[in-house]
Amino acid sequence: MAKATLWLEIIIVGYIYFLSTVFLILYSIGIYDLCFFSTLKDYLVYISLASIAASYLFGIVVHRFIQLAIQFFYFTFKKKEYKKHQTERNERIRNIIKVYQKGSQRLNRELDFQYSLIALFRSLVFAIPYFGINFGIWLNKTNFMRYSNIVFLFTCIFTILFFGVYRIQKKHYSYILECMYSELK
């Protein structure tokens, strides 16, 4: 298994956010036809490189923003519950540190891989609705407005599916951590 990093996940989700923002900008300035892109065919290489760089930047910003938004939600709305489970959380963090310190390199790579899947699915839970709403609103003003309802339907379906997969992956990651910690005791 190759070394797991979040680069690929950040680029994937970042590109969805980048594309969503492009459709939002096109809708905002009133461009409902993409024929103007055919005049840019000489600059296609530069545009693709710029879009990859922009998707990476969007991915980094959004990945960090989602983490901060979740923490803000817990601190603001679930403060009592957060304080009530403080000792459990501290113990869990200590256990994770012990797993990373005493575990093998392969074990650490597997944990990193599992976490990267959690980060990908968590980001997709937020990216898919953002893309679906922006693309559907833009599509509603074009000649293909009959497809905007299908886009909204698929947005709802994929958001629910990715949320379910995120929950399953998060439980799987927690189970792996608990098993690894119990083995390392």
- Give pLDDT tens digits for 69-93: 887 887 777 666 666 667 777 777 7
User: Is the CA virtual torsion 20, 47, 30, 39 positive or negative?
Assistant: negative
For residue 146 the two structure tokens come to 């009959």
- Mean pLDDT of the 96-112 span: 79
Residue 90 lies in a domain: yes
Q: Is the distance from CB of 152 to CB of 129 less than 8 angstroms?
A: no
1 in any annotated domain: no
Start-end of H helices in the chain: 7-29, 44-77, 79-84, 86-102, 105-140, 148-184
Judge whether 97 lies within some domain. Answer: yes
Determine, yes or no, domain membership for 2.
no
As to burial, measured by CB atoms within 10 angstroms (0-12 exposed, 13-18 middle, 19+ buried), residue 132 is buried
CA–CA separation, 163 and 104 (whole Å): 31
CA 142, 147, 151, 156 torsion-angle sign? positive
This prediction's pTM: 0.78
The first and second tokens of residue 152, run together, are 């909204």
Domain count of the fold of the chain: 1
> Which domain does 36 fall in, by range?
7-184
Task: Give the pLDDT confidence of 7-52 residue by residue, as tens digits.
Answer: 888 888 999 999 999 999 999 999 888 888 888 888 989 998 999 9
Report yes or no on 43 lying in a domain: yes
